[in-house]
Amino acid sequence: MKPDNLLKIRSFLVATDRAYDPETHMWVLDVAPGRVRCGFDPLESETSGDIVAVAFEPLSKEVARGAEFGSLEAAKFVGPLVAPVAGTLVAHNTAVLADPGLLNQDPLSHWLIEIELAAERSSLTGLLEGPEEIRTWFEAEVERFERQGALAQGALAQGAPGQ
């Protein structure tokens, strides 16, 4: 399912119906009062390369913002998945566990985990929200990743992941 309110930034589609953690490149979407869904932004998906495996901490585990909630194995990255918010893990996306490549195909539609927030809105402090704030940050990140050589020119020319 495609999200609403999409911005096209270079060749990437970025949804403005959610917040973004600039440290982890994860999006955070409210799904119920005090409960959020978390997933990769398109830049994280692109720069990780082909994602071949994900694993998550058990449900009911409490995680702090910036703490590990799982692990990722991809062509260009192997390491921890870091929580963009604090709370309790309440759901894993079983479709992504079974087929991690979904995260490369459409990172905005395929989530990783759901978290029951530790302290509702205060847990979202530091996240970027709103079209202008998201656009400014994401454009700067694309430029930074280009300078570092982390983005293949073909990816920028051919279109965003998930198109």
Looking up residue 79, the CATH number of its domain turns out to be 2.40.50.100
Which segments of the chain have a pLDDT < 50? 154-163
Q: Is residue 162 part of a domain?
A: no
| Residues shown for the chain | 163
Q: Is residue 122 part of a domain?
A: yes
Q: Is residue 11 part of a domain?
A: yes
Q: Is residue 134 part of a domain?
A: yes
Strands (DSSP E) contained in the chain are 6-9, 12-15, 19-21, 26-32, 35-40, 51-56, 62-63, 68-74, 78-82, 87-92, 113-117
DSSP 8-state secondary structure symbol assigned to residue 128: B
Q: What is the pLDDT of residues 142-157, one digit of tens each?
A: 999 999 888 865 444 3
Q: Is residue 96 part of a domain?
A: yes
- Number of compact structural domains in the chain: 1
CA atoms within 13 A on the CB side of 5: 12
- Domain interval for residue 28: 6-156
Q: The whole model's pTM is what?
A: 0.87
**pLDDT on residue 73:** 95
Q: What is the pLDDT of residues 25-51, one digit of tens each?
A: 999 999 999 999 999 999 999 988 899
